[in-house]
Amino acid sequence: MPDVVVMGLGHVGLPLVQEATSAGLATVGYDVSEEVVAGVNAGRSHVGGVSDADVTAMVAGGFRATGDPRVLDGARTVLICVPTGLTASGTPDLAQVEAATTAAARGLSPGTLVVLESTSYPGTTDGFVRPLLERISGLRAGHDFHLAFSPQRIDPGNREWGVRNTPKIVSGYTAKCAKRAIAFYSRFVENPVLSRGTREAEMAKLLENTYRYVNIALVDEVALFCAESGIDVWDVLHCAGTKPFGFASFRPGAGVGGHCIPVDPRYLAAQAEAQGFSFRMLAAAQDVLTRMPGHVVGRTLELLDEIDVKPAGSRVLLLGVSYKPDVADVRETPAVAVASGLLSAGAEVSYHDPYVEHFALGAQPVPRAGELDEALREADVAILLQEHTEYDAASLNRAPCAVLDTRGLVAGRGVTLL
């Protein structure tokens, strides 16, 4: 019988499996994707920050993945790590949490600890997950089984902070549930942080990412103002960033991406609206951030005009289409909106990214450039969207095409800053 079953072997679940397995816990991964299950069992990783060698070591240590929900029967601990996204209308989508909770409930036994790690609005653990578990299993949370919430803090590509050394918020439906959850995570997390309750822990997670969302929007709007006023926003940020207190530096760009930053504030806004509360700052931030890809497209068209190239038939190269530097993750990347806007203007769009093998707008693939120097020679304009390590400032400054830098990396006569 496994010590822990991790439900969802994605960017949250697989790093958790790695640490739990390293700590000597008998760990099983459950995922509904046959491709993911087969790949992991064969020693292949699909998650940034977890290598094939890491997965091979996990399997050698006794870990296995399965798509059979019977593995949940009698499990001592179940971690729900499935994605929480948005519906087509932009509202919270808990379909995968509901499916995972239902599967866990069918195999629930007395004494089991169930932990939700998926990010959601305050009240999800107590008001959504708990009733499902109780109704299907016939058991009571806090009496027959333990229920907790512990939000994930995974930063793909971060080599300094991982599951083990990042402080981890832990909360429980009851004090006894929290105690059991703290005891579990203490086996492979150095610094568990006890929260007063599940709603506080859920809100803390949303605040962490909403803080970034709002501040990125602030510097984006500052960048828009500076562009209209002839002010060098990058020098402004450099100077402000020298203050050793009272200022946290954020950088403008083409927009926000990833699973957390563009999504989590929408969960907070939706819950607030349901309670009749208006988060005006969130609405303002969303307005700014949704305008940024269009601003990048507009700057590109201006640049094409400056070099006397018509948009129709122009060759535009996107440099870096992942949502953050040196990772292959394209979830919610603003590169999609930028590419769509350029295609609508008649440009021929291609991309170069050392990490992303396939990039598409829905069913329409975007051509991937091969060798960087050749791609720069063939382009009319190159747009630096992501500052991957491969894109050094000196090389881009010597590019034969015009360069639009949205990241403040390059300085030179042929470079236009955001």
Residue-averaged pLDDT of the chain: 94
Across the range 2-24, mean pLDDT stands at 95
Quote the pLDDT of residue 113: 98
pLDDT at residue 202 greater than cutoff 70: yes
pLDDT 10s digits, 262-317: 888 989 988 898 899 988 999 999 999 999 999 999 999 999 999 999 999 999 99
Report the pLDDT value the prediction gives residue 414, as an integer from 0 to 100. 67
Does residue 177 carry a catalytic annotation?
no
Percentage of residues of the chain with pLDDT beyond 70:
99
Count CA within 13 A, CB hemisphere, residue 58: 28
Domains annotated for the chain, with CATH where assigned, are 4-196 (3.40.50.720), 221-417 (3.40.50.720)
Does the pLDDT at position 412 exceed 80?
no
Quote the tokens at residue 251.
């950088």
Q: What is the mean pLDDT of residues 10-30?
A: 95
Both structure tokens of 411: 């300085």
Quote the CA–CA distance of 87 and 78 in Å, as a whole number.
26
Label residue 417 by pLDDT band (50, 70, 90).
Answer: confident
Please provide the size of the chain in residues: 418
**Residue 395: predicted pLDDT:** 85
> Dihedral angle at the C-alpha atoms of 265, 266, 267, 272, nearest 10 degrees?
90
- Give CA–CA dist 37/267, Å, rounded: 30
- Around 253, how many Cα atoms within 13 Å sit in the side-chain half-sphere? 24
pLDDT value, residue 259 = 80
Token pair belonging to 361: 């707008």
Q: pLDDT digits over 115-159, tens only? A: 999 999 999 999 999 999 999 999 999 999 999 999 999 887 788
Going by pLDDT thresholds of 50, 70 and 90, the confidence category of residue 411 is: confident
pLDDT digits (tens, 9 = 90+) for 354-410: 999 999 998 899 999 989 999 999 999 999 999 999 998 888 988 999 999 999 888
Helix (H, G, I), strand (E, B) or coil at 172: strand
**Separation CA 283–CA 251 (nearest Å):** 20
> Is 309 strand, coil or helix?
coil
Of the candidates 81, 177, 226, 260, the residue annotated as catalytic is 260
The average pLDDT across 65-76 equals: 95
Helical spans, DSSP H, in 230-334: 233-240, 264-274, 280-306
Average pLDDT, stretch 82-108? 92
